[in-house]
Amino acid sequence: GAGVSQTPSNKVTEKGKYVELRCDPISGHTALYWYRQSLGQGPEFLIYFQGTGAADDSGLPNDRFFAVRPEGSVSTLKIQRTERGDSAVYLCASSLFGRSEQYFGPGTRLTVT
Amino acid sequence: GQQVMQIPQYQHVQEGEDFTTYCNSSTTLSNIQWYKQRPGGHPVFLIQLVKSGEVKKQKRLTFQFGEAKKNSSLHITATQTTDVGTYFCAGPGAGNMLTFGGGTRLMVKP
């Protein structure tokens, strides 16, 4: 079956611009996670959805970052006033309710120039 | 907050040699998960260990969970070039969000 998909695969934007990153989880997976991975490091947790609501957004670095999942499926990570330090690969993962193993998408490589 | 550390950061081995990576958590874990990320790829779930002292095998890979449920290891016997990648351990926090270690990058010389 289809895995987690993310679009775009690459995004180059100028400092100060707004970007949206999209994640389409595996069908039937109620939990959705966003992580950020910098070069040579492990993924860093950003936000977690169970259904439509953000169950834990403690990993969002500041209020420039926001994520939604209005219908409990597709999620969008939104970054306002991008900074060069936001450059990283943004990974989305999903899991079945009650299961802890997560299935990752291919990621969106964000470059802020 | 919870911290997960892995050593070594890098390991070069000759094909056929064994490889081990070690993972330590600052807190007791309900379970530990291992993921593999190929160069240019995304993390792929390998296994989950839940019980204290648990040992699981997947072909040439052996995973252990420590008695205190704060450390774990992954051992690969007779590495192959297909084993190349970065191996991450991860421990769950509240809501099943994962705290990942820094990973061990395995390079295999044919």
Which tens digit of pLDDT belongs to each residue from A20-79?
Answer: 999 999 999 999 999 999 999 999 999 999 988 888 999 999 999 999 999 989 999 999
Q: Do B41 and A91 touch (CB under 8 A)?
A: no
* Nearest residue of chain A to residue B102 (CA atoms): A42
B36-47: average pLDDT = 97
- The pLDDT of A77-94, averaged and rounded, is 98
- Residue A2's pLDDT band (cuts 50, 70, 90): confident
Instruction: Please judge whether B88 and A105 are an interchain contact, meaning their C-beta atoms are less than 8 angstroms apart.
Output: no
- Rounded-to-integer distance, Cα A102 and Cα A32, Å: 9
In angstroms, rounded to a whole number, what is the distance separating the alpha carbons of residues B102 and A60?
A: 19
User: Touching check for B46 and chain A: CB below 8 Å?
Assistant: no
Strands (E), chain B: 4-7, 10-14, 19-25, 32-37, 44-49, 55-58, 61-65, 71-76, 85-92, 98-100, 104-109
B positions 79-98 inside 8 Å of A (CB): 88, 90, 92-98
Residues B42 and B40: their CA atoms lie apart, in Å, by 7
Tokens of A38: 């910098």
Q: How far is B45 from chain A (nearest CA, A)?
A: 7
Rounded CA separation A69/A12 (Å):
24
Residue B99: list chain A partners with CB under 8 A: 45
**Region B86-108 average pLDDT:** 92
Identify the CA nearest to A91 among candidates A100, A80, A102: A102
CA distance B63 to B88: 12
Q: Which 8-state DSSP code applies to residue A102?
A: -
Q: Tokens at residue B75, please?
A: 């051992």
pLDDT at A1 (0 to 100): 57
